[in-house]
């Protein structure tokens, strides 16, 4: 049995290849950032923007 993960064997990637290592680490980093909660301050700013856009929108 190989120590190379199944998805890399199917893709033909070699885990020793520096490009594959970088890609794997970047995917892991992106996934961890994706799971982080959105800061309250940012949510407040988005709400203010939505409010401003609704007020600025012409009524038909």
Query: HSE on the CB side for 49, CA within 13 Å?
Result: 6
pLDDT of residue 7: 55
Could you read off the pLDDT of 8-46 as tens digits, one per residue?
555 556 778 999 999 999 999 999 999 999 999 999 999
Give the contacts of 13 (CB within 8 A, at least 6 positions apart). Answer: 4, 20
pLDDT at 48 over 60: yes
| Residue partners of 20: CB distance under 8 A and separation at least 6 | 8, 13, 14
pLDDT band at 1 (very low <50, low <70, confident <90, very high): very low
Q: Under a CB-based contact definition with an 8 Å cutoff, are residues 19 and 11 in contact?
A: no
- Give residue 33's pLDDT: 94
Residue of higher predicted confidence among 51 and 11: 51
Q: Tokens representing 22?
A: 């970088």
């Amino acid at each position: 049995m190989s120590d190379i993960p199944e998805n890399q064997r199917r893709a033909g990637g070699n885990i020793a290849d520096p490009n594959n290592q970088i890609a794997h680490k970047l995917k892991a980093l992106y996934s961890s950032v994706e799971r982080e909660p959105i800061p309250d301050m940012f949510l407040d700013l988005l709400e203010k923007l939505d409010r401003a856009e609704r007020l600025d929108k012409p009524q038909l």
